[in-house]
Structure 1
Amino acid sequence: MSLETVAEDIREEARARAREIEADAEERAEAIVAEAEADAAEIEAEREREVEREIAQEREQRLSSANLQAKQKRLEARRDVLEDVRERVEAEIAGIEGERREELTDELLAAAAEEFDEDASVEIYGRADDEAMIAALLESYDGYEFAGEYDCLGGVVAESEASRVRVNNTFDSVLEDVWEDNLKEASTRLFEQ
């Protein structure tokens, strides 16, 4: 075997080994690229799912916020209507005149008098426009006197220093009790759905 033949065999072996290494490297490169592409596809799919979740969450938050705002607007409108109704009722009560006003005031005065001892000295307060009427009603009560005006729709406030008792029997206090007791029913009637 000549030197040239040995050199040619070595070169051929080197070329074969180089082709093997190159094929192996290409195979590994293809595997790496395929794995990278699979990872990229998974990352992309996960990101799409995440974006879809964020969109759904944002949509839900906006819908919830819009529903809350609508509910608040409805409640505000109902409150406004109820305030208007209350103002109308107060105006009607303030407008009660004549015998009816006197009868109601007398009933409230009698109910207040029940809270005091017979010999008590009681000061009565009432609406300025009702002073003459209240003074006339007080003539049948010993120890009772009109002591001044009280800002109210009508009725009386009775006080006794000795017993430290104060009774608020104004039209306002009666209205407040009736209003509180019947607010739910009135609201239901006004806003039936």
Structure 2
Amino acid sequence: MSLDSVTEDIKEQARARAEEIRSDAEEQADEIIQEAEQEAERIRQQKEREVERQIEQEREQRLSSGNLEAKQTRLAARRQLLERVREQVETALVDLDAETREELTRELLDAASTEFEDVEAAEVYGRSDDEELLTSILEEYDGFEYGGEIDCLGGVVVESDSSRVRVNNTFDSVLEDVWQESLREISDELFEEQ
């Protein structure tokens, strides 16, 4: 065998080995590319799911926020309507006809006077527009005298310094008690769900 044929043999083996290495490298590159593409697809699908979850979560938050805002708006409107109803009741109490005002004032004074049976003197306070009415009614009560005006819708506040007793029987206090006791009923009546 000649040196040329040995050289040619070595070159042939080197070429074959290079072809084998190139083929292996291409296979490895194809596998790496395929794995990378699969990983990229897995990541893309995961990101899509995350984005969908985030979109759904934001949608739920916006829906919840919108519902809360609507509920708050409804409650504010109901509160305003209840305030208007109460204002109308207060106006009706202020505008009572003279006979009804006198009758109610007498009842409230009678109820308050039971707390002052052992007291020699008591002062009665009322609405400034009711001074004449109160002084007229108080002529029938021994030891009771008009003490002055207070800011109220009507009725009386009776006080005694000697016994340190104070009874608030104003229309305001009665209205407040009735309002608190009946608020649920009033609300149900006004806002009856259809």
Q: Show the counterpart of 1:88.
A: 88
Deviations along 1:80-106, one digit per CA (max 9) or x if unpaired, are 111111111111111112222111101
Deviations along 1:118-145, one digit per CA (max 9) or x if unpaired, are 2342111001111111111112222211
Q: Show the counterpart of 1:98.
A: 98
Aligned-partner Cα distance in 1 for 2:171–2:67: 40
Aligned-partner Cα distance in 2 for 1:119–1:64: 62
Aligned-partner Cα distance in 1 for 2:155–2:20: 112
Aligned-partner Cα distance in 2 for 1:115–1:106: 15
CA RMSD of aligned residues (A): 1.1
For residue 71 of structure 1, report the CA deviation from its aligned partner.
Answer: 0.7
Q: Show the counterpart of 1:188.
A: 188
Q: Show the counterpart of 1:39.
A: 39
Gaps of 5+ in 2: none
Aligned-partner Cα distance in 1 for 2:141–2:180: 32
TM-score, structure 2 normalization = 0.96
Q: Show the counterpart of 1:178.
A: 178
Q: What is the aligned-residue identity percentage?
A: 62
Aligned positions of 1:101-112 closer than 5 A: 101-112=101-112
Q: Show the counterpart of 2:169.
A: 169
Query: Residue type of the partner of 1:166?
Result: R
Q: Show the counterpart of 1:3.
A: 3
Query: Residue type of the partner of 2:128?
Result: A
For residue 163 of structure 1, report the CA deviation from its aligned partner.
Answer: 1.6
Residue 119 of structure 1 aligns to a residue whose secondary structure is coil
Query: Residue type of the partner of 1:37?
Result: E
Residue 145 of structure 1 aligns to a residue whose secondary structure is strand
Deviates more, 1:101-110 or 1:135-144: 135-144
TM-score, structure 1 normalization = 0.96
Aligned-partner Cα distance in 2 for 1:11–1:120: 137
Q: Show the counterpart of 1:79.
A: 79
For residue 112 of structure 1, report the CA deviation from its aligned partner.
Answer: 0.7
For residue 154 of structure 1, report the CA deviation from its aligned partner.
Answer: 0.6
- What is the aligned length? 193
Q: Show the counterpart of 1:151.
A: 151
Aligned positions of 1:134-145 closer than 5 A: 134-145=134-145
Query: Residue type of the partner of 2:73?
Result: K
Query: Residue type of the partner of 1:188?
Result: D
Tell me, yes or no, if the aligned pair for 2:153 and 2:170 is still in contact at 8 Å. yes
Q: Show the counterpart of 2:54.
A: 54
Gaps of 5+ in 1: none
Residue 172 of structure 1 aligns to a residue whose secondary structure is helix
Aligned-partner Cα distance in 1 for 2:163–2:118: 12
Aligned-partner Cα distance in 2 for 1:8–1:18: 15
For residue 186 of structure 1, report the CA deviation from its aligned partner.
Answer: 0.8
